Amino acid sequence: MSKRVTIDPVTRIEGHLRVDVEVDGGKVKKAWSSGQMWRGVENILIGRDPRDAWAITQRICGVCTTVHAIASVRAVENALKLEIPVNAQYIRNLIMLAHAIHDHIVHFYHLSALDWVDVVSATKADPAKAASLAQSLSSWSGNSVQEFKKVQDKIKGFVASGQLGIFTNGYWGHPAMKLPPEVNLLAVVHYLQALEVQRYANKIVTVLGSKSPHIQNVAVGGVANPLALDSQSVLTVERLLAVKEWIDKLDDFVKNVYLVDVAAIGAFYADWTTHGRGIVDYLSVPDVPLDGKGTQFAMPGGHIANGDVSTFKAIKTFDDKYFADGVSEAVKHSWYDYSSGNDKSLHPYKGETTPKYTDFQDDGKYSWLKSPSFYGKPMQVGPLANVLTMFAAGHEPTKKYATAALDLVSNIAKTKVGIDALHSTIGRHAARAVRCAVVQDELVKQWDLLLANMGKGDLKTFNKPVFPKGEQMGVGFHEAPRGVLSHWVVIQDGKIKNYQCVVPSTWNAAPRNEKDAPGAYEACLVGNPIADPEKPLEVLRTVHSFDPCIACAIHVIDEEHTEIVKVKAA
């Protein structure tokens, strides 16, 4: 007899997500993914100056702040056919890449590692054996016996007091936990060290973006960072050398800790390479532009059909029609109304954001998220899609780190693990670690390119936008840490006529579409094992592997219409 399990809210994510599953015979038979709050920021933008959109849209989220600012200015620049100075691209790239590294480190260690790591078990480990294991895997300086003993004593103190602090609410002792005590201790040591290391990425974003969260330096036409070689009041070589020092510290942790830990932990959970496959149509976009027009990119993107990398079709420029023509959103199972009928899937330029709440209906409307499609099919987006498309495009750094990670897993697991294993729950973690290493190398390159260009005497960072009369339309896309993000703007006589954000967590956490095809979470959960329906850890493992950010996909509504603050636009 089947049993209905509801997890509401799913924790250790950004925003509010509800997941329902039907469990029968120890496996998930059917799943529903439901965003529980409305995002109405598109309506707020109507009638406003397009130059203000980046500052408003990045308030969609307090975590993914830079990504909405970047996608927004790119959309308006695309509508105006506006080229920006190459220095502005380099500075934006540095911010994006540092933000991505921060996001990936925090996701693995602080948002999802506790799905696989038993903190209480770490108290039973032999610190010398655990340190020896860690030293055999990498040269990281934080792998000393003294460090491991210090952390274990701290954890023992937490457990003895009955208050686990930041480790509260884990599924300790769950039958699905498999790591030996020494590997659990290794992971807990690096969990605490990651709290310190992630600050370096945030410092880079703060210095270059003037503030974090919610950077203040971008503008339609470039960035607001004046460059100089000899003035202390602007972005100087001295400050950029400080940025380089933080980049180097990140490099050591990403390659000698994060990439190694994911491979080591993943090797003990080899059975999870067969769970969480779901949708294997992948969408990714190129990013890290190398010219002012967005026609050359350091990191490629595109579409893969049916999990077959030989089907890869590249997306090549910011003006790529293949991408721009393929995206649409449906609301048949979403709490919205389309004026032309809810059986339609609308292109974002014609998108509508009209709420219609009905309560949760299993076969009707059950989410505030819309259902995006690419040429009529749901997609999986995110680091796995990004790594597979870059691999298919022949991107050498991706091939290098993906091969190294799979070889390490194979050595520890003592069995050959190939790229097909990435189509899985644990594979999404491996892909994110591979992407983080690729992004880290690109961060170094972008720093070098900015310094080299400044050395040539080019200090320009801004081209003034001009808004013509009439209607213009533009799309700005960005390969954000959680996947494909796109902003779509229609401008009429210098004011915003329509604005739609199609975000990564909308692609992955979407309800069924107009053809009743499930979204990525829903498809990936089917077949997941559930050892104990009262403790559905396995559901969290698969959902967390996507790194949900529901705050980006939805937004807040007060049903009592209480006025919180009144803002008067100039």
Helix (H, G, I), strand (E, B) or coil at 42: helix
Helix (H, G, I), strand (E, B) or coil at 293: coil
Are 13 and 110 contacting, i.e. CB atoms less than 8 angstroms apart? no
Q: What is the dihedral of CA 105, 442, 206, 70, to 10 degrees?
A: -100
What's the chain's Rg over C-alpha atoms?
Answer: 23
Alpha-carbon gap, residue 36 to 13, rounded angstroms: 13
Q: Specify binding-site residues for Fe cation.
A: 64, 549
The Cα angle at residue 151 between residues 148 and 154, in degrees rounded to 5: 150
Q: Which residues are catalytic?
A: 14, 61, 64, 68, 482, 505, 549, 552
Q: Point out which residues pair with 479 in neighbouring strands.
A: 484
Q: Specify binding-site residues.
A: 42, 61, 64, 549, 552, 555
Q: Specify binding-site residues for Mg(2+).
A: 42, 552, 555
Residues 375, 378, 382, 385, CA torsion sign: negative
Alpha-carbon gap, residue 536 to 540, rounded angstroms: 7
Alpha-carbon gap, residue 127 to 293, rounded angstroms: 54
Q: Point out which residues pair with 499 in neighbouring strands.
A: 489
417-452 burial, b at 16+ Cβ within 10 Å, e below that, comes to: bebebbbbbbbbbbbbbbbbbbbbbbbebbbebbee
DSSP string, 436-464: HHHHHHHHHHHHHHHHHHHHTT----B--
Instruction: Tell me the one-letter amino acid at 464.
Output: K
- The crossing angle, in degrees rounded to 10, of helices 145-161 and 181-209 is 100
Strand stretches in 294-416, DSSP E: 297-299, 301-304, 313-315, 327-330, 345-346, 371-374
Are 131 and 145 contacting, i.e. CB atoms less than 8 angstroms apart? yes
458 closest CA partner among 91, 78, 94: 91
